[in-house]
Amino acid sequence: MKKILTISAFALSALMANAQSAQEQWVSSMLSKMTLEEKIAMIHAQSKFSSPGVKRLGIPEVWCTDGPHGIRAEVLWDEWETANWTNDHCVAFPALTCLSATWNLDMSALYGKSIGEEARYRNKTVLLGPGVNIARTPLNGRSFEYMGEDPYLSGEMVVPYIQKVQDQGVATCVKHFCLNNNELHRHTTNAILSDRALYEIYLPAFEKAVKQGHTWSIMGSYNLYQDQHVCHNERLLGTILKGEWGFDGTVISDWGGVHNTDQAVRYGMDLEFGSWTNGLATGKKNAYDMYFLADPYLEAIQAGTYGEAELNDKVTRVLRMIYRTKEARKATDGSMCSEAHYAAARQIGAEGIVLLQNKGNVLPIPAGKKVLVVGENAIKMMTVGGGSSSLKVEHEILPLDGLKERFGAANVSYQRGYVGDVGGEYNGVKTGQDLHESRSAEQLIADAVAAAKNADYVVYIGGLNKADHQDAEDFDREQYDLPYNQNAVIEALAAANSNLVVCNLSGNPVEMPWADKVPAIVQMWMLGSEAGHSLADVLSGDVNPSGHLPFTWFASLDQCGAHALGAYPGTKRVDAEGNDVKIDGAEVWDLSYDEDIYVGYRWVDKKSQTPLYPFGHGESYTTFSFSDLTVSADGATVSCTLTNTGDRAGAEVAQLYVGAVPGKGAAAKNAKDVAKQAKAAAKNPAAVVVPERPVRELKGFRKVYLQPGESKTVTFTLTDADFSFFDADHHNWVAPSGEYTIAVGASSRDLPLVQSIKR
C-alpha cells in the first residue's frame, strides 16, 4: 500500500518560518563578520557580469547572465566581447512576446523550468529577465523582450516563469523597473504620468512579480521618473517597491544605470553593475573601485557622511539573494541543450504563433503540394543580434529548413524576394551565414513572382529582424510599416498567386496595407532555436494554432494613443536661455504619457476605432462557440461553456473582460460628470471622485484544449480588485458600487457572452 504523506497547513507554515529564520540567521551572522571593505565590495561589480562574495567567509560570488530568452555566451572579464568559450552554446527559447501570446500559464512554467535549468547548469546566480515593460508604443525596439500591452496578461504570465527559474536556484531579475517603455533616449527620458496610469498600467506586472512570483531580484531601469534616474529613485524603489510592496530582495542596476553616489546610497540601489564598460583601461588601480557604490561610498562612510545602516541593508539584501539561490540549487544540477529543452522551445513557439487571418481556409497546407518560400527571414538566423538578448545557439532550425523537412525538400523551393540585413555578428558571436546578394530589388521581385506563378502555395517569411531600428535594444523603430520595400514584394506575390501565406516575424505590430489582398497571415515572432519546426508544425496543421495577440494590432500608427496625441518621444528640456538642462550630467527628455491609462485596446475602445486585429485575437483551424454564461449576483463567480464546433482538436482562450458602465455609478459618464463630482468633493476630502474608465479590461483568461465536439465548463473567480480603479486622491484602490458588464469571448472585440450586474 502506498503511504500518503500529508502535511497540515500549520506544519507547513512552521516549516516555512524555520526556513525563513535559518535564512535570516545566516544573513545576519555573515553580516556581523564582514569588514567595512568587504561589505562595500559586495554591492558593486568586479567584472562585466559578476560581483564578489567574501572568500574569507565562504560567501560565493554573484554571476549574472542575460536573459531573457536563453543563457548568453560568456564574455571577457571586462568587455562585452565574447570570451570564445567552446562550451557556452545554449537553447534559444521563443521571445517573451511569443510566450505571452500562448496565454497559457503552463507554457510560462515550462519556459521558466527549461531556461532555469540552463542557467543552473552554467552556474549563474541571476538570470537578467524576464521583462514586463508595457508595450506603450509599437515603435519600442525592445517590445519583443516583454509580454505585451496589458498589465493583467503580463502579470499573470510572468509569475510561473519566475517561480520555475527560482526552483533551479537561480534568481530572476525582473526588468526594467520601470517606465522604460521606449529605447530612443532610454537613458535620458523622464516619464511623466498620473498616479492612476502608474498604478493601473505600468506597475501591476512588477507587483505580481514581487508579491506572487517572489522574485529574488529586480532591475532598476535606465530612464528617469520625477527627475531622478530610476536606479536611485526615492519613490519607485523606496516608497513603492520596498515600502508598499515589502520587497526584501536585491535591486540590481541596469548596466550603467547608476549615476550618483548619494542617491544610490539613499534611494534603494543595492547592487551596481556596468558603470564602466572598459574596466581595465580607466581608473586608479581597478576601475570597479571607482563605481558610485565603491570607493566614493567607502570614503563617504569613513568621513562620517553616512552611517552603516544603508550599507547593511544593501548587503543584507544581496546576502539574502545568495542564500536563497544557494539553498535551492542544492536540489538540482540543471542541464544544457537537452532534448527536453528543444522540445519545450518548439512547443512554446508553436503555441504562441498567432493565426491572424485564414480566408478560404488556405491553411493548413496539405502534403504533396509545391510550396514556394519567399523572404529573407526564411533563411536568416535571428538568435544573434538585437542587444543583450543576443545568443550563441547550439543550433537554430531556419524556417526554410523546417518547411523542407516537413513538406519534403523536393516540394519546397526558395526565392529571396528582398534584401534586408546581411549582418550576422554580435559582440564577436557570428552566425557564419553569408547573406550577400547581387541581384537588384526589381530582379528579386521579378524572380519571386515568376516562381510564384508555378507554385501551389507561396509562403512569404519576412517582417523585422535584429538590426538597429528593427527589433533591437537601444533603438526604436523609425517607421510603422515594413522595411526593405517588403510591401511591394507582398503585393506582387498576392497578384501572382492566390494561395499566399504571409508570415510576419516581429515583436511589434507592423502596418499591413495589403491585408485584404492576402488570404492567410501568420504572426510568428522570434521563435528561437526551433523556429523552423514550430512554424512548420502550424503551417502543416500538425499543431492547430492557438496563439492570441498580447497587444493591439493598430491599422496605422495614429491608432495608438501615445502617437495620436504626439506623446512620443517627448521634448528636450531647456532653460530660459535655450540651454540643455542636465540631470546627472546628461540632457533630459520630458515625456508626458498624455494618453494616461488608455494604452493599447483601452485607447481604440475609447475612440471606437477598428484596429487591424484587436487585442486577444487569434484564429484556429477549428471553430469554437461560447455559451451558457452564468454570473453570480455579486459578480464573484462567472462560468460559461466552451465547445469545439469543428472537426479538429484545438485550443481556445476564454477571455473575460470587465467594463464599468458609464453614468451608472461604476464609472463617470464623461469629463463634465468628473468635474461636477470634483467640485462637490472639494468640500469633502473623503469623497471619492469616480473617473471615466476603460470600456473593458481583461480580468481573466483560460486556455482550453478541446477534441472535436467536446465541451468544457470554464469558471472564473472575480474579486473586488477586478472591479477597482486607482483613486490617486486617496492613494487607494476603489471598487465603486454600480453597474458593470461581464463579457466572455475569444478576443477583446469578439465577446459573444455579455451580462450586466449591479454590485
Which residues in this chain contact ligand BGC in the complex, by CB under 6 A?
66-67, 128, 175, 254-255, 388
Instruction: Give the residue with the Cβ less far from ligand BGC, 275 or 388.
Output: 388
Q: Please give the grid coordinates belonging to residue 563.
A: 502617437
Q: How far is the CB of 124 from ligand BGC (least distance, A)?
A: 12
* CA angle, 608 then 102 then 644, to 5°: 85
Q: How far is the CB of 340 from ligand BGC (least distance, A)?
A: 26
Instruction: Give the residue with the Cβ less far from ligand BGC, 187 or 749.
Output: 187
Q: How far is the CB of 90 from ligand BGC (least distance, A)?
A: 15
Q: How far is the CB of 275 from ligand BGC (least distance, A)?
A: 12
Instruction: Give the residue with the Cβ less far from ligand BGC, 255 or 601.
Output: 255
Q: How far is the CB of 683 from ligand BGC (least distance, A)?
A: 48
Q: Please give the grid coordinates belonging to residue 667.
A: 464609472
Instruction: Give the residue with the Cβ less far from ligand BGC, 111 or 426.
Output: 426
The residues with which 727 forms a beta bridge, in sequence order, are 732
State how far the Cα of 336 lies from the Cα of 89, in Å rounded to an integer: 8
Report the amino acid identity of residue 192.
I
Q: Please indicate whether residue 594 is annotated as part of the active site.
A: no
Burial class for 58, CB neighbours closer than 10 Å (0-12, 13-18, 19+): exposed
Q: Please give the grid coordinates belonging to residue 161.
A: 516563469
Instruction: Give the residue with the Cβ less far from ligand BGC, 187 or 314.
Output: 187
State how far the Cα of 678 lies from the Cα of 662, in Å rounded to an integer: 16
Residue 256: count other Cβ atoms within 10 Å of its Cβ. Answer: 15
DSSP string, 536-568: HHHHHTSS------SS-B-SSGGGSHHHHTT-S
How far from chain centre, in Å, is Cα 740? 30
Q: How far is the CB of 330 from ligand BGC (least distance, A)?
A: 27
Instruction: Give the residue with the Cβ less far from ligand BGC, 260 or 275.
Output: 275
Instruction: Give the residue with the Cβ less far from ligand BGC, 223 or 655.
Output: 223
The residues with which 415 forms a beta bridge, in sequence order, are 374
Contact 568, 137 (CB under 8 A): yes
Whole-Å CA distances, 115 to 80, 123, 342: 22, 12, 11
State how far the Cα of 265 lies from the Cα of 308, in Å rounded to an integer: 10
* Residue from 633, 609, 601, 554 nearest 697 by CA: 601
Instruction: Give the residue with the Cβ less far from ligand BGC, 65 or 168.
Output: 65
Q: How far is the CB of 290 from ligand BGC (least distance, A)?
A: 19
Q: Please give the grid coordinates belonging to residue 160.
A: 510561473
**Distance spanning both ends of the chain, measured CA to CA:** 51
Contacts of 333 (CB under 8 A, 6+ apart): 120, 121
The residues with which 653 forms a beta bridge, in sequence order, are 703
Which candidate in 254, 270, 476, 727 is catalytic? 254
Q: How far is the CB of 174 from ligand BGC (least distance, A)?
A: 11
Phi-psi region of 322 (alpha: psi -120 to 50; beta: other; left: phi over 0): alpha
Quick one: CA dihedral 443, 445, 447, 450, positive or negative? negative
**Residues forming the active site:** 254
